[in-house]
Amino acid sequence: MDTHQIEALFSSDENTQPPTTPHSEPPSAWHRVFFGPDGLRAGWSILIFIALFAGYLYAANIISHKIHPPTHHGASDNTFSPTVMFINEAIPLLGVLLATWIMAKIERRRVGAYGLGGTRKAPHFIAGLAWGITCLTPLILILWKGGYLVFDSRLLFGSDIVRYGICWIGVFFAVGLLEEYFTRGYLQYTLTRGFTGLFRSVFKTRNSEALGFWTSAVIFSVLFGAAHGSNPGESPIGLFTASLASMMFCLSLWRTGSLWWAIGFHTSWDWAQSFLYGVADSGTIAEHRFLATHPVGKPLLSGGATGPEGSVFILLIIALIVAVILVTLPRTHAGYERLPAEDVEL
């Protein structure tokens, strides 16, 4: 068969018909209720996560009450030992990690997509540690020099300083990891995903990701502040400060795509308040702290029972921290803004 015969064969009417492809059925109405372009819809994802976490806490509460029935300490309810506080943080932290891992498997996303991934975990964490204590110290100095904070005595000596210092930094690492990962990990990522899709369909703007992120940031920051209302000795200024601090940590997440700077900052800030300077932290006092202090004057200025976070001077420090974030954490392509599909395992 020569070349002309081959060309004639492939140009015949029978072979010029377009190949038939199987007809793909459009998704059903029920499928569209539960699934969108990014997979399981954000609302259902959040409900499942909350159900998993609540179920875990319920089971953990039953087990803990069987092992160690709760006791009431009366006036010492606002004072915590490192052991008790670590247990109180470690139990829900394990639930957050477990629920996040399960949701990552269900949605076929990498666990690191929810804030604990990235290639600069250690540098960001160490920088956050350094800035936490660095930014708290000016606030303590303002209160001390202004006569609103009095250092009473030194409580620890010798090896106890190192021993309890290490214990408390471990405790506050658990505190920082729990609070950051619970409020700004899976939940904020998923709510951002939902709002991004909503804004993209309604406004059709390329800024949908930013709008989605900051909308979810405001919602969770308000909830974060309100959650501190159960702390003993908390004040309106303290609650407002907690919400502002949450937005501040959202800014570090937006610029780095990671929670590690915020976790480091959260860890050393709380450690310096509770252990090093011995002041109240959201109305709670740490046992086995290095220094003993007490506030003096109007609570609006001294912070009162809330601690330095209840003083109006904290607003100056928050402005300082925002400046630190903007200067030391330049926004790059590794920032939070990304398409959710990039985090899907294939």
Asked if residue 240 has pLDDT above 50, the reply is yes
pTM, two decimals, is: 0.85
Of 188, 223, 214, 324, which is closest to residue 269 (Cα–Cα)?
324
- Residues 77, 68: Cα–Cα separation, whole Å: 17
> How far is residue 147 from each of residues 270, 295, 297, 306, 308, measured CA to CA in Å?
22, 9, 8, 17, 13
Asked if residue 165 has pLDDT above 50, the reply is yes
What token pair was written down for 267? 């860890």
Asked if residue 33 has pLDDT above 80, the reply is no
Note the pLDDT tens digit of each residue in 129-150.
999 999 999 999 999 999 999 9
pLDDT computed for residue 202 by the predictor: 86
Asked whether 255 and 325 are in contact (CB, 8 A), the reply is: yes
Give the pLDDT mean for 116-127. 91
3 state SS of 287: coil
Asked whether 262 and 341 are in contact (CB, 8 A), the reply is: no
Of 264, 241, 247, which is closest to residue 310 (Cα–Cα)?
241
Rg of the chain over all Cα atoms, to the nearest angstrom: 26
- Residues 132, 124: Cα–Cα separation, whole Å: 12
Q: How is residue 22 annotated by DSSP? A: P
- Residues 227, 232: Cα–Cα separation, whole Å: 12
Note the pLDDT tens digit of each residue in 289-307.
999 999 999 999 999 989 9
> How far is residue 83 from each of residues 157, 170, 172, measured CA to CA in Å?
20, 10, 12
Of 170, 259, 166, which is closest to residue 220 (Cα–Cα)?
259
- At 27, the pLDDT band (50, 70, 90 cuts) reads low
- At 23, the pLDDT band (50, 70, 90 cuts) reads low
Q: What is the mean pLDDT of the chain?
A: 85
Note the pLDDT tens digit of each residue in 242-300.
999 999 999 999 999 999 999 999 999 999 999 999 999 888 899 999 999 999 999 99
Asked whether 178 and 262 are in contact (CB, 8 A), the reply is: no
Residues 6+ apart with CB under 8 A from 78: 232, 233, 280, 283, 284, 285
- Residues 130, 169: Cα–Cα separation, whole Å: 13
Note the pLDDT tens digit of each residue in 40-80.
888 999 999 999 999 999 999 888 777 766 655 444 457 78
Note the pLDDT tens digit of each residue in 76-102.
457 788 998 999 999 999 999 999 999
